[in-house]
Structure 1
Amino acid sequence: MRAAIIPARGGSKRIPQKNIKIFCGKPMIAWSIEAALQSGCFDRVIVSTDDTAIAAVAKEYGAEVPFIRPQELSDDFTGTIPVTKHAIEYLESQGETYDDIMCIYATAPFVQPKIITEAYEQFKNSQADYCFTATNYAAPIQRAFKLTENKRAKMFNPEQFNTRSQDLEEAYHDAGQFYWGSADAFKQLKPVLSEVASPYILPRYLVQDIDTPDDWILAELLYQALTANGNLDKQ
């Protein structure tokens, strides 16, 4: 059996009510719920939340909310893997055993049902503990620099200053959409960004962090442009 777990904590500070704020016509969390349902991959699609308003919206769009997440797993410092572990163990306490789990973020409006399915196939074929979405950096990370106390530039890797861009190794980062994994991997709290995981590489135009009001505006504009050009399936 397979389940999708969508962590959706209340109390967002930078974007109030972020998980249920309207994004391109729907509550933000609705995009993740509908993508999971439309993929046909899951026996259950479950939202883990501590917030009754989020729970109500989640149910409206077809997800289940079989429990309210405990407060000790709902602070600013609890990661998604412990939250997913809690959901798996709750289901097990109800007599349900799951082999494969997908933890999908509530703020992932660019996630596509087809990508969920393809990533699952990659996960099973790779025999990895996890498969997660990733994309490459737009610029070489070896050329990154920081600002000093007196507002000067200081490279993190100054030895790479004269290396040609094409000779630098390409780097990738977590795209923040979802993590496929075995139930055992989540329960053991295995780290995702490690050699136990197989990254599913997304094009950069499908990746957008949404952490600030400016991010939100950019994400809506990008979503509208991608759907208008046929590069993103409407749900």
Structure 2
Amino acid sequence: MIPARGGSKRIPRKNLRDFCGRPMIAWPIAAALESGCFERVVVSTDDPEIAAAARAAGAETPFERPAALADAHAPTRPVIAHAIEALEAEGPVCCLYATAPFVLAEDLQRGRSRLQHNGVTYAFPVTRYAFPIQRALRMGPGNAVEMVQPEHFGTRSQDLEEAWHDAGQFYWADAGQWRTDAPIFGPGAVGLPVPRKRVQDIDTEEDWQLAELLFRAQGLDR
């Protein structure tokens, strides 16, 4: 299930914009098809142009996303739950973001495999923070700074606990799990480590430029 609404605000038409030679949405669709994990690769969208691009890339668009689930405040879970109901889907379901060009087929395969382990509710990629989060600074008026955790001012970096964050690319869960209100980061959630060089939020023009540089540097545009 690939959610892709048409009303992107920070980067207009982001899902359709050319990213290293293809519409952005075409990259995750290609990874999903290559993975062999899925009976169907379905895009949930309210936008006819996105739907056409998705079909051109090999995905299906068997329904139109309701307007109530297509505004900027619509959470992901109800969108996926709607798609599951519309398709009467059962078994493992993966929510794969349209703006995740760095996803590889093997990432999706690892997620599907981990979901099959007993007690696993969600499986999704995570990556390490590049800098110890315990050394984070808070910026105040006049650019005054203070440590968020001042007790760690004198702690050596190597003595601080390593921290990870959600890569924001995809989430595997059973269809029934998507219908619940259970938090993704709750009991049974499993992280799939991926290198930092393949994790990049794309919310600004600067993000976009950096993402294309990283993508091409790793030869992922071939």
User: Shorter-chain TM-score category?
Assistant: over 0.9
What does 1:39-118 align with in structure 2 at a 5 Å threshold?
39-92=35-88, 97-118=89-110
The answer to whether residue 188 in structure 2 is matched with residue 192 in structure 1 is: no
What is the match of residue 19 of structure 1? 15
CA distance in structure 2 between the aligned counterparts of 1:117 and 1:166, rounded to whole angstroms: 33
Gapped regions of structure 2 (runs ≥ 5):
none
CA distance in structure 2 between the aligned counterparts of 1:134 and 1:194, rounded to whole angstroms: 15
- Relative to structure 1, the CA distance from residue 181 to residue 63 in structure 2 (aligned partners, 3 Å threshold; closer, same or farther) is same
What does 1:185-224 align with in structure 2 at a 5 Å threshold?
185-224=177-216
Gapped regions of structure 1 (runs ≥ 5):
none
- Relative to structure 1, the CA distance from residue 204 to residue 129 in structure 2 (aligned partners, 3 Å threshold; closer, same or farther) is same
What is the match of residue 2 of structure 2? 6
Tell me by how many angstroms 1:184 deviates. Answer: 1.1
What does 1:115-126 align with in structure 2 at a 5 Å threshold?
115-125=107-117
CA deviation profile, 1:169-228 (whole Å, cap 9, x unmatched): 11111101100111111110321122331010111011011111111111111111100x
Tell me by how many angstroms 1:143 deviates. Answer: 0.5
CA distance in structure 1 between the aligned counterparts of 2:205 and 2:32, rounded to whole angstroms: 26
The answer to whether residue 140 in structure 2 is matched with residue 153 in structure 1 is: no
Number of aligned pairs? 222
- Relative to structure 1, the CA distance from residue 233 to residue 24 in structure 2 (aligned partners, 3 Å threshold; closer, same or farther) is closer
TM-score, length of structure 2 as denominator length: 0.96
Tell me by how many angstroms 1:150 deviates. Answer: 3.0
- Relative to structure 1, the CA distance from residue 64 to residue 192 in structure 2 (aligned partners, 3 Å threshold; closer, same or farther) is same
Tell me by how many angstroms 1:151 deviates. Answer: 1.7
Tell me if the contact between 1:112 and 1:233 (Cα under 8 Å) persists in the aligned partners: no
Whichever residue aligns with residue 95 of structure 2, its letter is C
Tell me by how many angstroms 1:89 deviates. Answer: 1.1
Whichever residue aligns with residue 42 of structure 1, its letter is F
CA distance in structure 1 between the aligned counterparts of 2:34 and 2:118, rounded to whole angstroms: 24
Whichever residue aligns with residue 61 of structure 1, its letter is A
Higher mean C-alpha displacement, 27-36 vs 124-133:
124-133
Tell me by how many angstroms 1:61 deviates. Answer: 0.9
Tell me by how many angstroms 1:127 deviates. Answer: 3.3
Q: For 2:61, what is the secondary structure of its paired residue?
A: coil
